[in-house]
Chains A and B, each alone.
Chain A
Amino acid sequence: NAGVTQTPKFQVLKTGQSMTLQCAQDMNHEYMSWYRQDPGMGLRLIHYSVGAGITDQGEVPNGYNVSRSTTEDFPLRLLSAAPSQTSVYFCASSWGGVREQYFGPGTRLTVT
């Protein structure tokens, strides 16, 4: 099993550009989440999904869109990148919050 994969590993965007961060898991997990990690702060939830076709907002959803058309994939879209979105983004999957969490390797995004 590949576990949770994320692409790209690094990305530099200019303000106003859009892009999609990819996340995929091969463990048939129901739950998938996107977090951002900023210096001096804990991981913060952006969006999450409890199954294909079902998504919901987390703590910091503004400027991001998600969709979940399949169990395996959970892409995160930045609509119009801003410098405040410079961060490290982690995708995670699990069978639920009371089960083991599996994290992807992260995407380091810089917006100039």
Chain B
Amino acid sequence: KNEVEQSPQNLTAQEGEFITINCSYSVGISALHWLQQHPGGGIVSLFMLSSGKKKHGRLIATINIQEKHSSLHITASHPRDSAVYICAVLYGGSQGNLIFGKGTKLSVKP
């Protein structure tokens, strides 16, 4: 079965710390998404990657296709970064094959 594994499941950090969240998957993919789910429940898209690295503000996402692994980094973390971060991968080209990880719950303390 195609699976997406995220680590850690829970992460507590102090404000200002550098955060890394990892995502591993089992077979070849077409794309990988990083999503953020706010404490209120809303889900927003952060990045879509098929290779290399993307940066948006304090967020950086990388993917290593050969190792089947992606990381989401947050520099200079802030309490407003507290959320659940979700990795999702697309196996094949169809929208129907988007598989989600269970999420990493991040709490940033002031």
Q: Are both chains from one complex? A: yes
A interface vs B, CB < 8 Å?
A: 31, 33, 35, 40-45, 48, 50, 56, 58, 88, 90, 92, 94, 96-103, 105-106, 108
Q: For residue A95, give the distance in angstroms from its CB to the closest CB of chain B.
A: 9
Residue of B41, B93, B96, B97 near A106 (CB, 8 A) is B41
B97, closest chain A residue (CB):
A97
Are B35 and A97 interface neighbours, CB within 8 A? no
14 A–B contacts from the bound complex (CB under 8 Å): A33-B96, A33-B98, A35-B100, A43-B100, A48-B95, A50-B94, A92-B43, A96-B93, A101-B45, A103-B35, A103-B42, A105-B41, A106-B43, A108-B41
Nearest chain B residue, comparing its CB with the CB of A41: B102
Q: Is the CB of B95 within 8 A of A42?
A: no
Min CB–CB distance A25 → chain B (angstroms): 14
Given A42-B100, A48-B95: A98 touches B45 (CB 8 Å cut-off)? no
Q: How many residues of B contact A (CB 8 A)?
A: 26
In the complex the two chains form, what is the Cα distance from A103 to B43 in whole Å?
Answer: 6
Cβ of B96 and Cβ of A45 under 8 Å apart? yes
Interfacial residues of chain B within 56-110, with CB under 8 A of chain A in the complex: 86, 88, 90, 93-103
Measured between alpha carbons, how far is A108 from B88 in the docked complex, in Å? 22
Say whether B44 faces chain A, with CB atoms less than 8 Å apart: yes
Given contacts A33-B96, A42-B86, A103-B42, 17 further A-B contacts (CB under 8 A): A35-B100, A40-B102, A42-B101, A42-B102, A50-B95, A88-B41, A94-B95, A97-B31, A97-B98, A98-B48, A100-B45, A101-B98, A103-B35, A103-B43, A105-B41, A105-B42, A106-B41
Asked if B103 and A42 sit within 8 Å, CB to CB, the answer is yes
Closest residue of chain B to A96 (Cβ to Cβ) is: B95
Cβ contacts under 8 Å, B94 to chain A: 50, 97
B50 close to A (CB within 8 Å)? yes
Q: Taking A42-B100, A88-B41 as contacts, is the C-beta distance between A31 and B95 under 8 angstroms? A: yes
Among residues of B, the one whose C-beta sits closest to the C-beta of A90 is B43
